[in-house]
A and B are shown apart, each in its own frame.
Chain A
Amino acid sequence: MRRRGAVNPVQIIWMLVTLILALMAIWPLLYMLGTAFKPGSEVFEPTLLPSHATLENFAYVLTEAPFWRYLLNTLFVASVVTVVALFFHTMAGYALARLRFPGREGIFLAMFSTFLISTPVIIVPLFILVRTLGMLNSYTGLIVPAIFHAFGIFLLRQYYLSLPRELEEAALVDGAGYWRIYWSVVLPMSRPIIAALAILFFLANWNSFLWPMTITADSDLQVVQVAIASFQSQYSASWNYIMAASTIVAAPMLVLFLVFQRQIMASIKTSGLK
């Protein structure tokens, strides 16, 4: 083996290649940020930074459209989905990993097989179903169908399979019921994975577009992704406004990433089939 710390020219070349690719990955995002601060006349200047930085684009977006309302709607929907999903998925994951009952493997396989059916594929019948249930154009319609996803259940089951059983068994010997064990032993032990999944679920719902666009017509119920997509058709050439709106929508998630990047990336690393 090569001595640790010694860097040869080949390695430096590979490090440079990586740097160029990494810059290509974030350059469009930086360009979005830069354009959001540019006056309209500067949008197509090739520089990343504006020569006359302005906050006018943000002021325009936040006053011209009820953008605060859209942000609050999105925050509400994404938060409720995340909390309810984590509650249901930890319960299911715990039962599928730990409790013994007839049909358990079959139930798990049936649940897991829905993993490959993504929203677009079933959007037409799902729309008809939700309309029949009277949930069209409502927060319920935005929230309830977004809760159920096999991915989270699968990851939680894997996590519980890897945990030692001793604590639960001690609680069982002490006469605690299964609900007590779930609530005061299993949930506290799941804090790291719950934190990671909370971020992933919130992110997915904050960024969700197709479903909210399909089932809401009411402007009061609009979420941010639908709002900026329709913003584009209204202000098709005003890229400085569109990029300001995009920045407002993307910035919270990018900040979340800066703070929690380690947890986010670690939880995705374990998501591949083992």
Chain B
Amino acid sequence: MTRLSGKHREWLAGYLFVLPDALGLALFIALPAAMALFVSVYSFDAFGSFTFVGATHYRRMLVDPLFWTSLRVTVTFAVTLVPLLYVTGLGLALLVQRTNLYNAIMRSMLFAPQMVSLVVIGLVWQLLVVDKIGILPQMLVAVGIEPVSFLGDPRFALLTVTLVCIWFLMGFYMLVFLGGLHDIPQEYYEAAQLDGAGRIARFWYITLPLLRPTSFFVLLVSTVSAVAGAHAFDLVYVMTKGGPANATSLLMMYIYQQAFQFGDFGYASAMSAVLVAMLAVLSGLFFLLTRGGRFQYA
């Protein structure tokens, strides 16, 4: 050790410091992601032995109507969630943007749901929307609206889960947008105001363009986690288990059922591999469209 030169000592220290995390990430995230491909060409039985089956699982996917249903549900979920979440997060951030006591309290209240687990969130909302006797249906009746079956009707179940997901996540994205708004130099607004730009013009020509890095982060992270079922899985598992009539059967839910209810690890892995590929293409597209996610201020 003492014979190493200063430069090489620094190299060694660098590698050793990075080693635990690098190994852990490689073993528990990168390796499983790659394993999905390998596992998908095998078939498993209940006792853990496996046989090579080639592309069988992928051919099965092509003709499995439940796979296509779950893909459609996933896309519908993401396409509804992402824009609504963007607008809600940004809207809330604009509402509580100024620093004062009132806004500080509002921010805390809006963020509070984030502290509670999605299991609890799912249970609480399930109670709130129980058919007929739940509080929400009761309130709708009180104002003269015929309540729907929020989780029992295939037409509304996915929308209900999506809205609960937005309710849960909006405080988080509000804070991310607040961070972005905070970074916009105040001078731009003052200059624009001197030039006679109104509120809407200032939002359109200053806030939105200068918020691009934050928007990129929000859209990328919310899209990827929506498709991956990062939050939705827990909610769906607790609230609907994929039902009614597969209306909330996200791809992640279907994969989980195939693996851990039916023990079909090979087929589940094949679908996971497709999901990983979808996510890779999605993130790649995001980076391409935004030229590497790099943005320049003005």
* Chain A interface (Cβ < 8 Å from any Cβ of B): 1, 14-15, 17-19, 21-26, 28-29, 31-32, 35, 43-44, 46, 88-89, 91-92, 94-96, 99-102, 104, 107, 110-111, 114, 116-129, 131, 144-145, 147-148, 150, 153, 177-179, 182, 203, 206-210, 214, 225, 228-229, 232, 239, 242-243, 246, 249-250, 253-254, 256-257, 261, 264-265, 268-274
* Residue of B48, B179, B269 ringed by the most chain A CB atoms within 10 A: B179
Which parts of B213-265 form the interface with A (CB within 8 Å)? 213-214, 216-218, 220-221, 224-225, 228-230, 233-234, 237-238, 252, 255-256, 259-260, 265
A94-B17 in contact (CB<8A): yes
Q: How far is the CB of A174 from chain B (nearest CB, A)?
A: 14
Question: Which residue from chain A places its CB closest to the CB of B142 in the assembled complex?
Answer: A46
Query: Which residues of B lie under 8 Å from residue A265 when comparing CB positions?
Result: 107-108, 111, 175
A272-B217 in contact (CB<8A): yes
Q: A25-B112, A129-B31 are in contact. List 5 more A-B contacts (CB 8 A).
A: A15-B102, A104-B14, A116-B221, A124-B265, A273-B213
Partner of B10, one of A23, A43, A178: A178
Q: How far is the CB of A182 from chain B (nearest CB, A)?
A: 7
Which stretch of B60-68, B75-83, B123-131, B145-153 is in the interface? Answer: B123-131
Query: Which residues of A lie under 8 Å from residue B117 when comparing CB positions?
Result: 206-209, 225, 249-250, 253
A29-B259 in contact (CB<8A): no
Query: Which residues of B lie under 8 Å from residue A122 when comparing CB positions?
Result: 29, 32-33, 36, 272, 276
Q: How far is the CB of B140 from chain A (nearest CB, A)?
A: 12
Decide: A273 near B217, CB < 8 A? Known: A17-B95, A125-B269, A209-B234.
Answer: yes
A25-B167 in contact (CB<8A): yes
B120-A114 in contact (CB<8A): no
16 contacting pairs across A/B (C-beta < 8 A): A22-B110, A25-B110, A25-B170, A31-B127, A46-B139, A114-B25, A120-B229, A120-B256, A125-B35, A125-B39, A147-B24, A207-B116, A209-B118, A228-B119, A229-B119, A243-B123
A239-B21 in contact (CB<8A): no
B139-A91 in contact (CB<8A): no
Q: How far is the CB of B115 from chain A (nearest CB, A)?
A: 4
Query: Which residues of B lie under 8 Å from residue A15 when comparing CB positions?
Result: 102
B124-A29 in contact (CB<8A): yes
A-B contact count (CB 8 A): 277
A228-B123 in contact (CB<8A): yes
CA distance A76 to B146 in the complex (A): 48
Question: Which residue from chain A places its CB closest to the CB of B252 in the assembled complex?
Answer: A120
Query: Which residues of B lie under 8 Å from residue A131 when comparing CB positions?
Result: 48
Q: Which range contains the number of B residues in contact with the other chain? A: 35 or more
Q: Is B196 in contact with chain A by the CB < 8 A criterion?
A: no
CA distance A210 to B107 in the complex (A): 29
Question: Which residue from chain B places its CB closest to the CB of A181 in the assembled complex?
Answer: B13
* Chain B interface (Cβ < 8 Å from any Cβ of A): 9-11, 13-15, 17-18, 20-22, 24-25, 27-33, 35-36, 39, 48, 92, 95-96, 102-103, 105-113, 115-121, 123-125, 127-128, 130, 133-135, 138-139, 167, 170-172, 175-180, 182-183, 193, 213-214, 216-218, 220-221, 224-225, 228-230, 233-234, 237-238, 252, 255-256, 259-260, 265, 268-269, 272, 275-276, 279, 283, 293
Decide: A256 near B115, CB < 8 A? Known: A100-B14, A117-B279, A272-B218.
Answer: yes
Q: How far is the CB of A146 from chain B (nearest CB, A)?
A: 9
A250-B24 in contact (CB<8A): no
Q: How far is the CB of B196 from chain A (nearest CB, A)?
A: 14
CA distance A117 to B13 in the complex (A): 28
Question: Which residue from chain A places its CB closest to the CB of B216 in the assembled complex?
Answer: A273
Query: Which residues of A lie under 8 Å from residue B110 when comparing CB positions?
Result: 21-22, 25
CA distance A177 to B2 in the complex (A): 11
Question: Which residue from chain A places its CB closest to the CB of B234 in the assembled complex?
Answer: A209
CA distance A107 to B133 in the complex (A): 56
Q: How far is the CB of A74 from chain B (nearest CB, A)?
A: 10
A19-B176 in contact (CB<8A): no
In the complex, the 5 A-B pairs of residues with the closest C-beta atoms, listed nearest first: A101-B14, A207-B117, A95-B17, A148-B24, A178-B13
Q: How far is the CB of A60 from chain B (nearest CB, A)?
A: 16
Q: How far is the CB of A165 from chain B (nearest CB, A)?
A: 14
* Residue of A18, A31, A94, A121 ringed by the most chain B CB atoms within 10 A: A121
Query: Which residues of A lie under 8 Å from residue B221 when comparing CB positions?
Result: 116
B35-A129 in contact (CB<8A): yes
A121-B279 in contact (CB<8A): yes
A246-B124 in contact (CB<8A): yes
A101-B172 in contact (CB<8A): no
Q: How far is the CB of A228 from chain B (nearest CB, A)?
A: 6
Query: Which residues of A lie under 8 Å from residue B48 when comparing CB positions?
Result: 131
Q: How far is the CB of B41 from chain A (nearest CB, A)?
A: 13
A114-B13 in contact (CB<8A): no
